[in-house]
Amino acid sequence: MLALVVCGCAHGQDTVKVLRPVWQSLSAAERASIQKRHVVDVRDADAYGLVIDNQGVDVSTPGTTGGAVLGSAVANAAYVDRAFNPSNNYSAKTHLAATILGAVIGSSLDKPGVQQYHFRYALKLRDGEITYRESVQGSPFRHPAGVCLELLTLSPVPQVLCTQTVADVRKTYLMNPAEAGAPTVTVVTPLETTRVSQESTVVPPGGNKIDCKLGNLAPVSTTPEKCTSIGGKPL
């Protein structure tokens, strides 16, 4: 594992775990942006696997009691032999005590029971390959399918170490696209349309109209024919 500290003072920064192929897929600007705010702990992707199946066998061994039985029998026989000696008297209490003492001494040869379970895990690596790991432990509880495990110790680790992608890192740690070197999109606000007062357009007279002056009257616009018919003078 390689811890990359890019700030001269890492105090107060949180450590983030990033898989090596994901880290290498980021641009230099993106890596620099993440390292401004976090201490990056780069992990090897092939060190983790996702449990897809597991099998277990109970390999526990029971304790032995042969030593206690043998010790009790030997003590019992030895006391009976001595009790029938003319110089000794038989005592039921002494007989029982000798038997118990023999059982206690003989039990030192016995072994306690051992509770053990042998598990075999099928794990899917990041590249899609399937690998197997075996574990012998005293607990009957195993890791279920879907859990991310460290291959070396078969201990659970954050799920992200089995499923992390470049998109995940960008979404989680690159809050400001400009700092990550991503293209900056400038939003242009449309200019408000200026209302321009429209002035009335005078349409020139159509046809062959002319200005016609009749006597002392002001000139009027009319056709040449009408101007002539009323005795006017075309201008």
Residue (of 182, 164, 135) closest to 29 by Cα position: 182
Q: How far is CA 43 from CA 21, 51, 150, 186, in A?
A: 9, 19, 11, 37
Tokens representing residue 81 in the block? 């032999």
Question: Which residue type occupies 203?
Answer: V
- C-alpha torsion sign, points 10, 14, 15, 19: negative
Tens-binned pLDDT, residue by residue, of the chain (235 aa): 434 333 444 455 789 999 999 999 999 999 999 999 999 999 999 999 999 999 999 988 877 767 667 777 776 677 666 766 666 676 666 767 767 777 777 777 767 778 999 999 999 999 999 999 999 999 999 999 999 999 999 999 999 999 999 999 999 998 665 554 444 444 444 544 444 344 444 444 445 788 887 777 777 788 888 788 777 888 7
Structure tokens at 53: 């199946």
Q: Where are the domains of the chain?
A: 2-56+116-173, 66-107, 209-235
Measured in residues, the chain has a length of: 235
- Single pTM value for the model: 0.54
Task: Check: CB of residue 30 under 8 Å from CB of residue 181.
Answer: yes
Q: 56: which residues sit within 8 A by CB, 6+ positions away?
A: 117, 118, 119, 120, 140, 142
Taking the CA atoms of residue 47, residue 48, residue 53 and residue 59 in that order, the dihedral angle to the nearest 10 degrees is 60
**Per-residue confidence (pLDDT) for residue 79, from 0 to 100:** 65
**Cβ partners under 8 Å of residue 28, min gap 6:** 181
- As given in the structure block, the two tokens for residue 170 are 């960008």
Amino acid 232: pLDDT: 80
Question: What is the pLDDT, as a whole number, of residue 220?
Answer: 76
H or E segment and range at residue 106: helix 92-107
